[in-house]
Amino acid sequence: MKTFLLFICIYLIPFVLSAQKNLTVNGEAITFDCAKVQTVDEMDTITMPRVKIYHAVITNNCLELGVFYGNCPANLELVTDGKLIETQDLTLNFLLRYDKDSKPCQAENKTTLFFDILPYKNMRTGKYIILSFLGEKYHLVYK
């Protein structure tokens, strides 16, 4: 058992940490704090390189996203145009993208990112809005 723990400390932990050094959110190291959502004038879903989301949940006005990422340097941003779309429900679109100066590479790893969605809570005219992630299957109810 001691050998196994020693292996994890010496080999596995530094490998995981070195892989995440290449990954930033809004130009800063990944933390458990909720990062700011970036506002864009227009959601250009054709040209914005995006990141694959495998998990999404809202906890205490913080959006938790599980994402796949590669071993190459990348800066991730959660962007929205801040425009509510009226259908049966009110929907606000988001897109998790690679920064325009970074090039995506094959996603082999997983990590969790956190984003502050409190500024969008006041957009609700009813009891909730739907958070939609363009290009993804996730739609969350934000109460």
Nearest alpha carbon to residue 25 among 98, 87, 88, 100: 98
Place of tokens 């998990």: 55
For the domain 2-142, what is the CATH code?
2.60.40
Q: Residue 25, Cα to own-chain centre: how many angstroms?
A: 8
Nearest alpha carbon to residue 20 among 102, 79, 78, 75: 75
pTM (2 decimals)?
0.78
Which one-letter amino acid corresponds to residue 75?
N
Lookup: tokens for 42: 């227009």
| C-alpha to C-alpha distance for 115 and 26, rounded to whole angstroms | 10
Tally Cβ neighbours within 10 Å of residue 4: 8
The predicted pLDDT at position 48 comes to 67
Q: Return all residues near 108 (Cβ < 8 A) that are at least 6 apart.
A: 68, 70, 71
Nearest alpha carbon to residue 95 among 49, 134, 53: 134
Q: In what order do the strands lie in the sheet with 62-69?
A: 35-36, 109-116, 62-69, 53-59
**For 27-80, what is each residue's pLDDT tens digit?**
999 999 999 999 998 876 666 667 789 999 999 999 999 998 877 788 899 999
**For 80-101, what is each residue's pLDDT tens digit?**
999 998 878 889 999 988 764 5
Number of H helices, E strands in the chain: 2, 12
